[in-house]
Amino acid sequence: MNRYVVSCVLVFAIVAAAAAQTTVSNAVKTTTQANNDFACDIYRQIGDKDAGKNVFFSPWSISSALAMTMEGARNETAIEMGQTLRLPKSLDVGGERPWRMDLYHQGVAEMQRRCTPPRDEAKELATRKKIAELRKELDALNKRIEKNQEFNLFDKAQKLATNINILEQSLDLYELNIANAIWGEKTYPFDPTYADAVSKYYGPGLVRDADFINQFPAERAKINRWVEGQTKDRIKDLIPNIPEQQAQLIRMILVNAIYFKGQWSDPFKKEQTKDDVFTLTDGTRTKAPLMQNVQRARYAAFYNDGTFFETPRMIRFDQKIATYPNEGFLVAEIPYKDNRLAMTVLLPMRADGLPALEKKLTGDALAKWLSKLESRDVNVKLPKFKMTPDYELGPLLKALGMKRAFEPRIADLTGMSKSLNPNDRLHISRVIHKAFVDVNEEGTEAAAATAVIVAVPGSIPTAHPFTPNFFADRPFVFLIREVESGAVLFMGRMTTPK
């Protein structure tokens, strides 16, 4: 099983000042637009902070958790949070609650349902049985073709192989788990209408009692165990050990965890992975394990200014044409099984071209580039790599304009609280994000490998299809997206293979 495994979690503490595929709905479009714009903004902040380093995070996780908090924000604090999350003007309604959050929350909830693969154990069992029967029939046909030269059976064998491939694609689909939880200090007077509002969209039983004042170590351990369970043990010790005096000020911890594991639709073969040259941004050449395959992918090329470059479909054997822009970048989208999710790679033509590409990367630009992708065969080379980054996002969010929410006695999160005591006024103290990603080619073989195809030579053609090269042997940006809506679930850059 060629596997892409990823898990991300986001958590932040709020502290007292003293103590299956459908048409994309309008809600999903609204949430996706805001999320993708925010993704590019926070990517730039993280990238500038960690200049030259690998980057990986889940904008969906971050924006979802912040949106849960924003449900309790009011006035100027809510304005700043909404602007930072890039909520569109259509949601700007003014007043104490300046944003229409119900449509945004609805989009988050719908996306979670869209991305969750359907499971029918009885149907899966029947499919596996049918595959076994077809394999047996195909093996018998292949033996007859090979032994008795019964070439009239060739078409039948080819159809059987195609049917097996189709059935295989419906099995062992990706895993995607998105979970939310809120732990609230049991002695604090939270407003029950806030809990009802977030539970409506982010999951029933969302809010749980906790004793942060007297039992923070035990509550920390409980939350960390929950995170480990939601991410298949990929994220550990998310909540750090906090000094007792600081821990006693915590009144709420909100957590979003997202875990993804998927098989490539067209697997890489392990024996084709070779140590090859990877050129770093500064021109240094290093060795990296590069997976390679001819993939059926969605592909497009662009000039340095972001305008579309027309890649030919066919070329004459004697034709000398420019098949790639001299500068600029290439985009390839490699699907996972079921084709609902895909990895999108933005690859500069030059090893030192990543900074220029990053400057052009916005939500609108990304949507424009992705609209040009076309399905075709592509010679793909992609490095195996693993990342385990963690980030303190508070300073980055402040830099994006979300300042008041972090200010004691100034932040207005009164939509969460029933208390009028100024010592009970809430603010965000920290935003912590951890992530894990592993891209490799381990796993099951594709069903098409079992078919024996016998063909007679044809006449020599005067032209042949052009299969573009997409060799990610230099720094690149990559995304994990829900294809139909375009929502970016994960985002990062790979500058140094590890």
* Helix/strand/coil (H/E/C) assignment for every residue in 230-299: HCCCCCCCCCCCCCHHHHCCEEEEEEEEEEEEEEECCCCCHHHCEEEEEECCCCCEEEEEEEEEEEEEEE
CB atoms within 10 A of CB 297: 27
Question: What is the pLDDT averaged over residues 442-465?
Answer: 32
Confidence of residue 474 (pLDDT cuts 50, 70, 90): very high
* Whole-angstrom distance, CA of residue 279 vs CA of residue 166: 38
The number of C-alpha atoms within 13 Å of 63 and in the hemisphere containing its C-beta is 33
Q: Which of 14-28, 73-87, 234-248 has the highest mean predicted lDDT (pLDDT)?
A: 73-87
Residue type, 449: A
Residue 195 is predicted with a pLDDT of 92
Q: What is the mean pLDDT of the chain?
A: 83
Question: What is the pLDDT averaged over residues 157-168?
Answer: 76
Question: What is the pLDDT averaged over residues 155-166?
Answer: 77
Question: What is the pLDDT averaged over residues 20-46?
Answer: 88
Residue 462 is predicted with a pLDDT of 53
Residue 117 is predicted with a pLDDT of 63
Per the model's pLDDT, the better-predicted residue between 428 and 463 turns out to be 428
pLDDT score of 18 more than 70: no
Terminal Cα-to-Cα distance of the chain (whole angstroms): 21
Residue 460 is predicted with a pLDDT of 41
* Whole-angstrom distance, CA of residue 333 vs CA of residue 289: 20
Per the model's pLDDT, the better-predicted residue between 305 and 436 turns out to be 305
pLDDT score of 447 more than 50: no
Q: State pLDDT tens for residues 353-367.
A: 999 999 999 999 999
Residue 318 is predicted with a pLDDT of 65
- Length of the chain in residues, anyone? 498
What does the DSSP assignment read for 20-89? ---PPPHHHHHHHHHHHHHHHHHHHHHHHHTTTS-EEE-HHHHHHHHHHHHTT--HHHHHHHHHHTT--G
* Whole-angstrom distance, CA of residue 361 vs CA of residue 368: 11
Residue 249 is predicted with a pLDDT of 86
* Whole-angstrom distance, CA of residue 81 vs CA of residue 83: 5
Q: State pLDDT tens for residues 98-128.
A: 999 999 999 999 988 887 766 666 777 777 7
Helix (H) / strand (E) element for 391: namely strand 390-392
Residue 323 is predicted with a pLDDT of 81
Judged by phi (left if over 0) then psi (alpha if -120 to 50, else beta), residue 149 lies in left
Question: What is the pLDDT averaged over residues 60-72?
Answer: 91
pLDDT score of 40 more than 50: yes
Residue 269 is predicted with a pLDDT of 87
Q: State pLDDT tens for residues 394-414.
A: 999 999 999 999 888 888 999
Residue 136 is predicted with a pLDDT of 82
Confidence of residue 240 (pLDDT cuts 50, 70, 90): confident
Question: What is the pLDDT averaged over residues 35-64?
Answer: 93
Q: State pLDDT tens for residues 190-229.
A: 899 999 999 999 988 888 899 988 999 999 899 999 988 9
